[in-house]
Amino acid sequence: MRLLLAEDDRDIALYTASKLEGEGYAVDHAATGPEVWDLGETGDYAAIILDLGLPGMDGLSILKRWRAAGVNTPVIVLTARGSWMERVDGFEAGADDYLPKPFRPEELLARLKALLRRAGGNAAPVRSAGRFLVDDGAKRVSFDGRVLDLSPQEFRLISLFVSHKGKVLTPIEIANHVQGRDDDQAKNAVEAMVARLRRKTDASAIETRRGFGYVMPEEGA
């Protein structure tokens, strides 16, 4: 079972990772916000252990982005001891459990096992919209039954559309979710990415609503 450990404190990360590996888990460790965000959204993890204070992008923002993009991997949030605000914010952002720092690895393991039991080893669902089928577990998208060759960002973009089928998404919203920023450069990149996806699929797969943004139609044209 593969876990993502998001922790920028090197000592805590090394110690925790070795304990988890000792219990038979495979552990990917990431220490910066953007890296954590990317791995959590494109990787296939049984669970994620997420420190809230990460450099580059804070844990809460990352968690909100994952949930908005349809990532339903169970997440344990690491919070400062006694900070009930962090706990509330964490649950509201979509955390499944929390653990105050400093923590004993034994407690993390116990909570992790309980969380994985609750998740019941559920395979990630396959979602569909229009002519797209998104397999979140395999990180694979097919269009009219044909598997597409996609970059992680393109996967993220389609996943976002499928989670919001029939809804117009503004370039700013898309840039925020796909690029992690919404400046002009990111918005231009979104335009280019949509054009690329249309070439890989069909010109009508993603529609432009001039002046508003883009929409993935619910039913294929």
Residue ranges that bind Ca ion, judged by CB under 5 A: 8, 51, 53
Closest chain position to Ca ion (CB): 53
Task: Give the span between the Cα atoms of 58 and 62, in whole angstroms.
Answer: 6
> How many Cβ atoms from other residues are within 10 Å of residue 73's Cβ?
20
Smallest gap from Cβ 56 to Ca ion, in A, equals: 11
Which residue's CB is nearer to Ca ion, number 7 or number 182?
7
Q: Which is nearer to Ca ion, 66 or 143 (CB)?
A: 66
Cβ partners under 8 Å of residue 69, min gap 6 = 41, 156, 159, 160, 163, 177
Give the distance between the most distant pair of CA atoms in the chain.
55
Q: CB of 38: closest distance to Ca ion in angstroms?
A: 18
Shortest CB 207 distance to Ca ion, Å: 42
Which lies closer to Ca ion via its Cβ, residue 11 or residue 184?
A: 11
Nearer to Ca ion, 77 or 134 (CB): 77
Q: Shortest distance, CB of residue 74 to Ca ion, whole angstroms?
A: 20
Q: How far is CA 2 from the centre of its chain?
A: 15
**Residue closest to 205 by CA, chosen among 132, 141, 142, 151:** 132
What are residue 120's phi and psi, to 5 degrees?
65, 25
